[in-house]
Structure 1
Amino acid sequence: MRHPPPVPAQPALPAAPHDLTTGEIAALMAPDNHPHPLTAQELDHLVGHLTTKQMDEVAGHLGVGGLVRQLPPVLLKVVHAVQRQLQRDAPPELDDEIDSLVRNFDVLSYIVQPEPAPPTTSVSSKIFTTPSKAPTTPAKEVPSRVSSASPSPPTPSGARASYAVNSPTKVGHTVSWFEAGALTIGVRNATTSGSGNRKPRKRSGRNAAYVVFYGGEVGVFEQWADASRSVTGHGLAIHCGFPSLAAANAALAYARTRGWTADSTDPSNTLPSASQLPASYPDNALNSTGDGMWYVVCRGIAPGVYRSWLECSLNTSGVKGNLCSSFTTQAAAEQAFASALKANFVQVLSRHVNL
């Protein structure tokens, strides 16, 4: 009688993950190096206590593509590590994949509980932690940066975002990322999770050229590999892709006329102050990225509605506790900012880190 081949046993996870090297942890997390996929609880056990530096090392071992394409939606720490890797090293072609991962990673039942119950599991309380030190800059009166006409409510597109909030002032759900962020970012022991667009998108599709506005070398680059050398290792680098070389050159020329470029190797260069930032969103060469996005800065140097990724970044780069998002229409952006103003979520912050 022929017996079926034995099923390989799944290796037991170590009782103390902190005794492993980051390389060993990465090997356990990679599906192609592991006989069976790790469960959500096993992944939480494996990386739940890693520091940011250790998680970055794990991401480096796996590679950006490995994290984005191989790992199932798991932990916020993993997602943040992927985002940091993308900002430093990854080509723009991976943007859509990481956006999809960010949107979907926390819809699993073990992270976000079905409404109306707030998230109460030990897993979510371990995963969704925010910085313990809140920004100390007091709120200032913020001038409205929306048009005088009352914007019409935006037309919903696709599934509506939902965020679970667990903070000293609110436990429950909200459809506003600005509310979720305002109640949790920089608040001790406050947590949030959700399925919406938390961070602004800055690129769409393939780009013909890239502009480095702030970085190792300011300029226009036709290849991402060349542009990345001016971005990698520069924590406050600001760059953007454009659909044509002409559009990229025009955007850089416009930014230079406004003083919105700087070589970060020159210690005399700094990011602009609030007085140097636009008071509205004029149609200009910076808008020609082809993504059609509108950006709202809820907390930053000069909160308001902005038309380009560069203007949004100038308001948030090096600003601890910043809060911003992107929208597909002007009406949606104006409505979101008006609602944030009414709810007193808007706050002027100072830049704590410069070039």
Structure 2
Amino acid sequence: MDGLPSSLVSRSLVSAASEGDEPLARALQNSLRISDTRSSGELLRHAELCSLDATLRTREANLLTREADLLRREASLKRREESQAVAEGMAFMDPDASTFWESLNDEPSDDESDLTASITSSPTTLAPSTPPSDLTSSISSSPTSLAPSTPPRRPVLALQPDRVYQVSSPDRSGPTATWATAGHHTLPSPAATAKLISTPHRPRHPVYKCYAIIRGTHPGVYQGRWYDYMVLVEKVPRASYKGFETLEEAQTAFALAFALGFVEAIPARNAVGLVAPPRSPSMVSTNPTQNEILAILSGTPANYLGQTWYAVFKGIRPGVYPCWTFVSDLVSGVSTSTYQRFDSRSDAELAFRRAEQNGEVHELQGGRSYVLPTIASSADEPLEGVLYIPHRRITQILSRKRAQQTNTWRVFCTYHIEGSHKSKSRAPQTNPWRAFCTYHIEGSPKS
């Protein structure tokens, strides 16, 4: 029997202990308690396995330590992000917010409540804002008189900063919590920018089953899947459509739009005539009579307009509206128009009143550009006196040959307005509405 001498094992044990190899030392110490009748190869194999097991256990412990450290860092970053969001929300309040917070413990007086409801917009250089009519806007206010001894107090309208924009313009720079302010300072200025730096909450809605197409190649009410009817609004200028959960809601929206004169059949851009009608016809008459409209409206459910409300800050008729069908005609294709969607009527009215306070509510006219033009001064420009708009997402198409013939430069401008566009094929990434403007410049191009 070829055994391993105890003296050799003892010397190996001393050597392993001096070198700090504790797993091997323990294995050799254990081998001294084993009978010398075991072969040397078996003892060495046993020692190697013990050493490998100890190494793997050490690596597993290190991995667990690193994972615990990453979890601690992630929790710390999340706490810092929440604290920063709270701090920014406090910073974006009105400068007089300290007075507001100090007065929370006091009951508001009747005069203060009436004063909040009677706010009107301040005059600006743009077209003055006119109060919306009772038929189309839900904004209403009744001025009240204050006692002579009561000093006027500026009310503070606090908004939850759901969206935060980083504004860079000649007259304002920094973050702002409302799109009304961001659009007011950036859209009229060519070189100004507004970037969304927060992640807004987007509530999920059930899949729509019915669609009311107000302006498209074939207006009407359709039931089914949206991609079957998407072709009816693709590339249609100022297309207007909306999805609904029930057929009754879609029929009511279409009847109201037809009664207000919003329904219109428009061919797609660069298309000859209207496209082929869909396989499934409209669920309602595309030219309903007065009796049919009254019959539809008589069965209108209480919540047919839904929970979504819109505040139009700049448009043909500013105000607060309960349905996109009414808003589309007031902002689509209107230069520098701004509007925002809200989940409740109170939030929309609060945002509109605060915009009035800040002088950000204006009535605009369709077919007129409110973008301030600038003169090109770059050394790379081939011509002198070229009118251009260096706005973000603008593609300038400058043709020297065309300019020499017609003396006209065509500038295609893309305006980003707050809102939702359902057509993925039209705007899959930036989700903008597009407005095309043509500027005619007098003078001859420089050779």
Greater relative contact order: 1 or 2 (C-alpha under 8 angstroms, separation 6 or more)?
1
